[in-house]
Amino acid sequence: MSGFLPWWLAALALGAITVGYWIAVRRPLGVSGVLARFTRVREELEFDRGVAAVNRADPIALEAELLALTQEAFGTVGAPLAGATAPAAPEVGSGAGVMEPAVPAAEAGRACAPVPSLGAHLTFLGMLVVGGALAALLRGTWGAGLGEAFARHLTPGPAGLAALAGGGVLVGFGTAMCGGCSAGHGLTGAGRLMPGSLVSTGVYFAAAVAVAVALGWRLT
């Protein structure tokens, strides 16, 4: 069995994974940013420690310290500023009145979860690899080459490897520069109609088409 999924089934699976990931983990699905973290492990571990310290802090002590710093900064604790704008959460479905405390995040739609630990991200990336292995083993295609056209014209010799490495540098640099990849911008960002993602997706797709057509012209 070496055929691929029909287009609608692939679309369904990718869409479900993208939205499901947000609902389950409350993080936007994306790979390039996660991968890039592993090019600066020490800095990322330190950042993780900081996030964990904030999350793990004793709530009472944390609250006391926050109130003390609030007092120091504003000279007041509890009284809203004159001309204060709308409640914290952007969209309020609960009808919270002026006299009530700040709207809990849960009532105004789910908030994003804090940055997962480097370990959790490693698990994510590792399972991407395992997923590929599972699929290849089930279909009996493990170890196959990159593809027929690639094998013919950009062989696994030095030229082919150089092309892959060079292309990889473009991918790594480009995704870091535009802030996302096919999943981060294409599936999640465009899925949420984010301007940066819509532009990125359109541009990277156009660039890819241009290069592919140029390569294709050379291939035939």
Partner 1 sequence: MNARLFNHLAMGGFGLALGFTISVAGLSNWDEVHRMFSLGLFTSGSAGGNPRLLLAFGGAILLSMAGFRLLARHDQIPVKPIRTGTISGAILFGAGWAITGACPAAALVQLGEGKLVALATLGGILGGAWLHEKARRAFHWSRHSCVD
Partner 2 sequence: MACAHTPTCPLFSLFTMKSSLKVWQDRYCMDKFEECNRYQLAHAGDRVPPNMLPNGRSLQLT
Applying CB under 8 A, the residues found at the interface with partner 2 are 43, 47, 50-51, 53-55, 57, 61-63, 65-67, 69-70, 72-74, 76-81, 84-86, 88-90, 101-105, 111-112, 114-115
Site residues (CB under 8 A) for partner 1, limited to 32-51: 32-40, 47
- Identify the CA nearest to 183 among candidates 137, 124, 130: 124
Cβ atoms of residues 107 and 94 within 8 Å: yes
Query: Using CA atoms in the order 113, 114, 118, 121, what is the torsion angle rounded to 10 degrees?
Result: 20
If one asks whether residue 106 binds partner 1 (CB under 8 A), the answer comes out as no
If one asks whether residue 28 binds partner 1 (CB under 8 A), the answer comes out as yes
If one asks whether residue 184 binds partner 1 (CB under 8 A), the answer comes out as yes
* Cα angle, residue 28 at apex, residues 22 and 31 outer, rounded to 5°: 125
If one asks whether residue 54 binds partner 1 (CB under 8 A), the answer comes out as no
Residue 145, phi-psi category: left (phi > 0), alpha (psi -120 to 50), beta (remainder) = beta
Cβ atoms of residues 89 and 107 within 8 Å: yes
Half-sphere exposure of 202 (CA within 13 A, CB side): 7
Q: How far apart are CA 21 and CA 44, in angstroms?
A: 22
85 binds, among partner 2, partner 1, none (CB under 5 to 8 A by kind): partner 2
129 binds, among partner 2, partner 1, none (CB under 5 to 8 A by kind): partner 1
If one asks whether residue 6 binds partner 1 (CB under 8 A), the answer comes out as yes
Which x/- pattern, by CB under 8 A, does the window 112-151 give for partner 1? x--xxx-xxx-xxxxxxxxxxxxxx--x-xxxxxxxxxx-
184 binds, among partner 1, partner 2, none (CB under 5 to 8 A by kind): partner 1
Site residues (CB under 8 A) for partner 1, limited to 74-93: 89-91, 93
Residues in contact with 216: Cβ distance below 8 Å, sequence separation at least 6, in sequence order: none
Question: Nearer Cβ to partner 2, position 114 or 145?
Answer: 114
96 binds, among partner 1, partner 2, none (CB under 5 to 8 A by kind): none
- Identify the CA nearest to 49 among candidates 114, 4, 143: 114
Q: Which one among 49, 62, 67, 109 touches partner 1, defined by CB under 8 A?
A: 109
If one asks whether residue 153 binds partner 1 (CB under 8 A), the answer comes out as yes
